[in-house]
Amino acid sequence: MAEDERPVPGQRYGRLGQKRPRSAFFWEAVDPKWHELFQAYVERGMYRREVLDQKTRELCAVAALTVLNQQGALGRHMLSALDYGASQDEVIEVVLQMSVYGGFPATQAALNTFRATLAEVGEPAQRKG
């Protein structure tokens, strides 16, 4: 992904992430105060720590969501990982590594989510490995 296609400071999603609706469930409509607390902790707190770069942070989210078999949020973080510079091979490898921790059904579900998410945003699969 070209450097100019990555999210700019203050922008949560890059080129791929912007092609997908923000969420199937808009938290701010359910409980605005909770949504503000969540954003303060995650987006203005944990996501601004400088120990990990955003690409690594998104790959960690892909790993965790794969093991937890949480397909709803997984596609968004897969796109964010790509937007922050991860290759499709890196995303797939993280998912495959999680078969050790989450089992094969969770891994297969995550691979299916990746395929479907790429198709949803019109991004061709580019497996090199």
The torsion of the CA quartet 42, 48, 51, 55, rounded to 10 degrees, works out to: 80
Asked if residue 17 belongs to a domain, the reply is no
Which strand (E) or helix (H) includes residue 7? none
How far is it, in rounded angstroms, from Cα 35 to Cα 17? 20
Return the higher-pLDDT residue of 126 and 15.
126
Asked if residue 94 belongs to a domain, the reply is yes
The torsion of the CA quartet 126, 103, 75, 33, rounded to 10 degrees, works out to: -160
CATH number of the domain residue 58 falls in: 1.20.1290.10
How far is it, in rounded angstroms, from Cα 74 to Cα 50? 23
In the chain, how many H helices and how many E strands?
7, 0
Residue 103 has pLDDT above 70, yes or no: yes
Predicted pLDDT of residue 102: 96
Asked if residue 35 belongs to a domain, the reply is no
Asked if residue 76 belongs to a domain, the reply is yes
Asked if residue 63 belongs to a domain, the reply is yes
Asked if residue 1 belongs to a domain, the reply is no
How many structural domains is the chain composed of? 1
Q: What average pLDDT does the chain have?
A: 85
How far is it, in rounded angstroms, from Cα 81 to Cα 57? 8
Segment 9-46, tens digit of pLDDT:
555 667 776 666 555 456 667 788 888 888 888 777 88
Asked if residue 60 belongs to a domain, the reply is yes
How far is it, in rounded angstroms, from Cα 79 to Cα 121? 9
Predicted pLDDT of residue 24: 45
Predicted pLDDT of residue 111: 98
Asked if residue 84 belongs to a domain, the reply is yes
Segment 50-79, tens digit of pLDDT:
899 999 999 999 999 999 999 989 999 999
Cut 0.75: pTM above it: yes
Predicted pLDDT of residue 49: 86
**Would you say 5 and 18 are in contact if contact means Cβ atoms under 8 Å apart?**
no
How far is it, in rounded angstroms, from Cα 124 to Cα 10? 28
Domain that holds residue 67: 53-120
